[in-house]
Amino acid sequence: MRQSPLILLALLLTGAASFSSSSSSSSPSASPQANTRDAELKNAFRRPPKNGWTFVHLEGTPHEIGFQNGYLLAPEIEDTLKVTILEVTHDNKKDWQFFRDAAQNMMWPHIEQEYRDEMQGIVDGLTAHGTSTKFDLWDVVALNAAEEWEYYVKEYDEAHGNKSTASAQVAEHCSAFVATGSYTKDGKVVIAHNDWTQYLDGERWTIIYDIVPARGKRLLMDGLPGIIHSADDFVMNSAGIVITETTIGHFSGYAETAIPEFVRARKAAQYSTSIDDFTRIMKDGNNGGYANTWLVADTGKNEIGRLELGLKNVTLERKSDGYFVGSNFPINEKLIREETDFDPHDMSESSNARHLRWDQLMAENKGKIDVAAAERFLADHFDTYENKEDADERTLDGHIDLSPRGDGTWQPPFGMAGTVQNKVADSHMVAEMSLAAAAGHACGMDFKAADHLRAHPEFAWQSGLQRDMKAGAWTTFSVAQP
């Protein structure tokens, strides 16, 4: 019999014990298991939280990197898995076993060994640390694929003649831009991104990963605990490539026999040394899952690109002078017609209103864009449809929960509540592998869970795991020095 998500959550929480604090120290009479643990954790560490972010340094073979992730972030991973199970089962109206089975039978055959080893390492690290709830490999794979499930469920239901249980449309996620040449203050790249999602999982989207893999390039990225990719995405590598994206709104399409998006995204970040590399890796085995408009910069060449990656339609543009922006609007007319139900002429639509605002800000600030300007842009509350300041679902700093249209009769797709964190970098920062990040709303407004749930009782299903989200100061994070 299918269990409800709340029953599943209750089972997960039953008998839960608190984690001990993370530590890689061993006792004087270390067991063989402790010696193995210490060998896997060599050179890895986590720093105390800073302005809402937790910095972790992972280094070594794929299994070692995964083990370090699982061990050092074990409390956070268990918490994030519980949130993911609740969200995914609620939003798609299928039990968690459905997604575990899909992770094993549909995704696993198309995941290369390097990333299989890393995810197995995460499981082994969780086991070595000890968790109150026992999770296995298929839980970890399903967690990494969380952004892809709404695409898969639609295709699954259609193939099986079911009335779709997935959300009616792909949720809008994120605002972003990349600029260079005559648009920036020093003529070099500036790139910025904020993550829009439910506050429920967004409150947990506060890990800064510094990853030194045995093969490929060093990575600095934001992310959720227990994942091998950024997922929202903001990542740079030691070859001077920096990558972000915004979701293509109202998109449908998924190929079960292709490579999961989260695998391609991680591989592209780890192995790209050019925009062409990034494009090739993302296109190879494209499954259509988490279809995005990718903004990418090669800071060495001072070149920027925009890769609109649908399933059937893929378009790459590039510039050495200019900008690209993202706010979930599709671009290619053929893609719009064949793969979405998007209306590009509806200016009350969040995607279109934010697109217009980006173009306004780029024009108004041409020749002046730097990190400080980017930080201001991500805090912007101007609604172009209303033509006034009004923090809501149409502003770059998204506050869907504050929209007068969120009155209980209008529910945004996937219960999305707004911006949950922000990142900015310029060419100088990328050269040093550093980024500036602000947890919560860039405008400085705190999110109060009790107030939100009181105003929006339709989200009561989140109450067991919903928590406050404070707005943190902009903080610079750099890779760990040897």
CA–CA distance from 170 to each of 53, 80, 247, 283, 341 (Å)? 28, 22, 8, 21, 10
452 has a pLDDT exceeding 50: yes
Predicted local confidence at residue 131, as pLDDT: 86
Banded model confidence at residue 32, pLDDT cuts 50, 70, 90: low
The phi-psi region of residue 197 (left if phi > 0; otherwise alpha if psi is between -120 and 50; otherwise beta) is: beta
Predicted local confidence at residue 406, as pLDDT: 57
Sign (positive/negative) of CA torsion 231, 262, 218, 315?
A: negative
Listed by start position, the domains of the chain span 38-159, 175-478
**CB-count exposure of residue 219 (10 Å: 0-12, 13-18, 19+):** buried
186 has a pLDDT exceeding 60: yes
pLDDT higher for 25 or 10? 10
Reduced to 3 states, what is the DSSP secondary structure of residue 232? coil
Segment 201-225 mean pLDDT: 97
Reduced to 3 states, what is the DSSP secondary structure of residue 361? helix
Predicted local confidence at residue 165, as pLDDT: 60
Segment 241-248 mean pLDDT: 97
410 has a pLDDT exceeding 60: no
137 has a pLDDT exceeding 80: yes
Which residues, 6+ apart, have CB-to-CB distance to 482 below 8 Å? none
Predicted local confidence at residue 14, as pLDDT: 39
Which residues, 6+ apart, have CB-to-CB distance to 293 below 8 Å? 245, 246, 247, 248, 306, 307, 308, 309, 326, 328, 329, 330, 331
7 has a pLDDT exceeding 90: no
**CB-count exposure of residue 387 (10 Å: 0-12, 13-18, 19+):** exposed
pLDDT higher for 1 or 140? 140
Which residues, 6+ apart, have CB-to-CB distance to 326 below 8 Å? 174, 175, 176, 177, 244, 245, 246, 293, 295, 306
**CB-count exposure of residue 133 (10 Å: 0-12, 13-18, 19+):** middle
H or E stretch at 307: strand 303-309
Banded model confidence at residue 458, pLDDT cuts 50, 70, 90: confident
pLDDT tens-digit readout, 312-363: 999 999 999 999 999 999 999 999 999 999 999 999 999 999 999 999 999 9
Which residues, 6+ apart, have CB-to-CB distance to 59 below 8 Å? 43, 44, 65, 68, 211, 212, 213
23 has a pLDDT exceeding 50: no
Please tell us whether the domain made up of 38-159 is placed in CATH 3.40.50.2300.
no
pLDDT tens-digit readout, 149-158: 999 999 999 9
pLDDT tens-digit readout, 45-102: 999 999 999 999 999 999 999 999 999 999 999 999 999 999 999 989 999 999 999 9
Residues in a beta bridge with 340: 251
200 has a pLDDT exceeding 70: yes
Reduced to 3 states, what is the DSSP secondary structure of residue 294? strand
CA distance 98 to 94: 6
Q: Kindly report the pTM of this predicted structure.
A: 0.91
Other CB atoms within a 10 A radius of the CB of residue 24 amount to: 16
CB burial of 317-348 (b: ≥16 within 10 Å; e: otherwise) equals ebbeebbbbbbbbbbbeebbeebbebeeeeee
Retrieve residue 245's tokens: 């994206």
pLDDT higher for 35 or 237? 237
185 has a pLDDT exceeding 50: yes
**Domain 175-478 - what CATH class?**
alpha beta
249 touches 351 (CB < 8 A): yes
pLDDT higher for 28 or 40? 40
H or E stretch at 323: strand 322-326
CA distance 394 to 435: 26
pLDDT tens-digit readout, 281-324: 999 999 999 999 999 999 999 999 999 999 999 999 999 999 99
Which residues, 6+ apart, have CB-to-CB distance to 472 below 8 Å? 51, 52, 53, 438, 439, 440
CA distance 220 to 232: 14
Segment 215-227 mean pLDDT: 98
CA distance 224 to 203: 10
